[in-house]
Amino acid sequence: MIKKILLILGTLLMLSSLTGCLKTINLSDRAIVQAIGIDYDEDKYKLSIQIFSPEGSGGQTAIDTSKQNSKVITTEGKTIGEAMSKADLKQGKKIFYGHNRLIILGESSAKKGLENVISFFNTDAQSKSDVGMLVVKGDANEILNAKITQGILPAETIEKIVRNAEDTGQSFQVRFYDVAKNYKSTTNSVSIPVIKLEDAEDNSGEKKEEESASSEKSEGDSKVISMDGISVFLDGRLKTYIDQENTRAIQILLQKFKSSVVVSESDSIGTSSVEIFKSQIKINPRIKNGDMSVDIIVKTDGIVKEIVVPEDREVPVFEYKDIEDSLEDVIKDEIDNVLYLTLKENNIDIFNFMDRIKQKYPSYWKDNRDDIGNIISNLGYNVKIDVNIDRTGLQIKDK
Amino acid sequence: MFAKISGAQLFTMLYISRVFSSLTYNIHTGSKLDGLAILIGSLISLFVQILIVIPIFKLYDRIKNGNIITAGYNCFGKNGIIIAWIYAIYAILVGINTIVQAMFFLDNAVYTNANSSILVLMFIGLVLYGAVSGVESISRVSAIFGVFFVVAFLFIFTGLLSSVDMYNLSPIFDSPIKQIGVSIFDNLGRNTELVAFILLYPYTKGNKKKTFMSYLILSTITIQIIVFLITTVLANYSGSLVFPFYTLTTISYTSIFQRLDSLHMALWIVLAFIKATMYVFIAYSCISISLPKVKKGYIFSVIFIAISISVYWIQSSLDAIRYLQGFINSGFIVLILVFILPFIIYIVYIFKKENSVDKKNIVNTGYSIDAI
């Protein structure tokens, strides 16, 4: 009998633990962070925290797509942790950044260095390693406070834009763990995509006119986000920017390339735009006459999108060799340009060339690893491109 | 007559227990080794572990009923109690270490502001209940969750394949032989389940050697996969993480299935429970052989008090956590308990058997597993 009583009491005691081990916080009392902007000014970190704040249209819908559905709070502190801790005081809700989508670094904090950023987001249990990272020339605060006209949530919109840019060869996604991995690496440098704000009327004047009658967002200061190249870091600090026109080559070399439309123009074959896809790249380090170089072979297939041939030219049917050669020249120039900018001008390796050398020539690496900068600056490169147009579209080349 | 669990059940208990440690902590903890050194070391360690259990298998071939403790009593008479308590204390320490690891993970990765005292109390209570239920109950739970774990692990593995970068697996440049040697010893020390196996040996039916080999090979394969993923996906970043596999699960995704860290948490807490329960049971079995007249309830009460006080004290001090983990994972301890001590007992046993006038005395000392 006593045993039964003890068993029941024990069970009840254990049941009491099922209520959880933290005090309850209602969802309405949580400020769900969507994006965090980090700037650095006057020896202080300034955080701009974009919080999900649904704004209904007054009817049954909780979210009105014509509104921002977010608000931004700004805090500052000597460290990111201190700044974050003050965020609760600014708006009364408990900050929750477990579902944070983006970390946007302003130019000032990028130049200050990634150390504090990586330390905070690496240590804190709420933050996850797959959050996207971006850099902006200027202040991150401006991006997060801008009235972005695309989509429901600004942070979600930015995320989608970056994803679409990756699919079309305009940029690539970088996660926090990618940045942390390259930051901790003794050989690779960090590279993070850059975004910028543009006025909405610059991109779609007609659209703005249609929307202005009904939309609260586009009231003369509505903005759109676009990609603006890549930022590269050296020793965790912002070194330089690489222009948007070079991002395709970077994407190919980083083996993140999916597809992109390449335009070739010449007097002999006219103008053609071909979508290249299924890119395969081989990068082989090689020592020749004591000098280290990398052989880069890119093979890609192409789909014809558009061809305009000059009037006076005979056009062989299903003969695209000249266009392929032209495209190969275009892509080779882009890759050569990017390699020169990164390796020669800025002495940084964002393409894991050093890791390849380490694997293939371990004794060479062991002898020279104390002067990686020298290896990078003296690294030769031979680029060979092979474009194969195997899909012509529904129209053959014609006058 | 005292064999109660099948080889497959023992296998899952040991496998889950072994994998738990690798899922929790950084493989570089305590030793700054290259990923490739750890991979090679754990592979070679497999063969070392096969070699060091030869004496114990030879001993068990001669003892038809019993384990290392009963053999110790057979060899040394009443002094065999020392051997029983050595293994009991070791099992209790491993149990404490497991609970401390579980709470450390929860405090740092899940509930950072929680009061873990209640969690600790409930967890220890559950572990005690599981141990009191006996080895059959523990093995059945482990068999069920073993299947869940393998499926979940394969799912996580599949989600990480696209993130693997083989260039992160670089050659070992600095002292490769030394690094591999340290890795071999490190792997040996982390395999506390070798001790569990030799104590659970008589509870198992079927071909125990086959069970042991299956456990050793599959656990080594799993550890290799974990190390491979951590090294190739996270590279040097893993060195700054306390729970690298947990970070891996935040990155892993397959189609719409994301946030596998929650899957990791759910399974992990069950694995911690199974491991802790197994070792508490082993501690109880060792103590009960040495004190056959003491009631089961009293033994478990003492174990409960000892573990509760120790866990509360240790988990509040990072130094204590580090020292305990260093001690438990020390290759020397496993070497002593799995190889040296059994080897000595085996030699003494052979010597006594060959020189004994009354050979019946070798077997009928009154100390046997039947007391449990």
User: What count of other Cβ atoms lies within 10 Å of the Cβ of residue B265?
Assistant: 15
Contacts of B113 in chain A (CB under 8 A): 22
In chain B, what are the domain boundaries? 5-363
Cα angle value B205/B209/B213 (rounded, 5°): 120
- Per-residue pLDDT at A313: 66
Edge-to-edge, what's the strand order for the sheet holding A291-308?
A259-266, A270-288, A291-308, A380-391
Contact A65, A152 (CB under 8 A): yes
Contacts of B107 in chain A (CB under 8 A): none
Closest of A289, A37, A256 to residue A143, by C-alpha: A37
Tell me whether residues B125 and A359 touch, CB distance under 8 A: no
Contact A75, A95 (CB under 8 A): no
- Rounded Cα distance between A350 and A110, Å, is 17
In this complex, which of A21, A181, A359 lies closest to B118 when CB atoms are compared?
A21
Closest of A144, A342, A316, A145 to residue A229, by C-alpha: A342
- Rounded Cα distance between B87 and B195, Å, is 8
* Pair type for strands A44-52 and A70-77: antiparallel
Q: ipTM strictly over 0.90?
A: no
Identify the structural domains of chain A with CATH numbers, from first to last.
27-242 (no CATH), 260-398 (3.30.300.210)
- Chosen from B156, B167, B174 to mutate, greatest number of chain A CBs within 10 A: B167
In this complex, which of B114, B167, B237 lies closest to A22 when CB atoms are compared?
B114
For residue B357, with 0-12 CB atoms within 10 Å meaning exposed, 13-18 middle and 19 or more buried, which class applies? exposed
Contact with chain B for residue A128, Cβ under 8 A: yes
Q: Where are the alpha helices (DSSP H) in chain B?
A: 7-24, 35-52, 54-62, 68-76, 80-105, 116-133, 135-160, 176-190, 193-200, 208-229, 244-251, 261-290, 296-315, 318-328, 331-335, 341-355, 360-363
Contacts of B230 in chain A (CB under 8 A): none
Region A331-338: mean pLDDT is: 95
First to last CA, chain B: 12
> What is the CATH number assigned to the segment(s) B5-363?
1.20.1740.10
User: What count of other Cβ atoms lies within 10 Å of the Cβ of residue B276?
Assistant: 29
Tell me whether residues B111 and A22 touch, CB distance under 8 A: yes
Contacts of A184 in chain B (CB under 8 A): 235-237, 239-240
Given a cut of 60, is residue A205 above it in pLDDT?
no
- Rounded Cα distance between A79 and A85, Å, is 10
Contact with chain B for residue A123, Cβ under 8 A: no
In this complex, which of B109, B112, B235 lies closest to A185 when CB atoms are compared?
B235
Could you tell me what percentage of chain A is helix, strand and coil, using 3-state DSSP and rounding each to the nearest 5? Answer: 35, 35, 30
pLDDT tens digits, one per residue of B133-171: 888 899 999 999 999 899 988 888 988 998 899 999 988
Torsion of CA B152, B157, B159, B160, to 10 degrees: 150
Task: Please enumerate in sequence order all residues whose Cβ is within 8 A of that of A69, keeping only pairs 6 or more positions apart, or say none.
Answer: A52, A53, A54, A55, A63, A152, A153
Range with the poorest average pLDDT among A315-324, A336-345, B15-24, B50-59: A315-324
CA-atom Rg of chain B in angstroms: 21
Size of interface A-B (CB pairs under 8 A): 68
Q: Which H or E run includes A114? A: none
Among residues of chain B, what percentage have pLDDT more than 90?
48
- Per-residue pLDDT at B364: 38
Range with the poorest average pLDDT among A97-106, A157-166, A306-315: A306-315
pTM of the model: 0.87
Identify which has the larger pLDDT, A193 or B369.
Answer: A193
- Chosen from A121, A128, A129, A183 to mutate, greatest number of chain B CBs within 10 A: A129
pLDDT tens digits, one per residue of B213-227: 999 999 999 999 999
Range with the poorest average pLDDT among A60-69, A159-168, A342-351, B195-204: A60-69
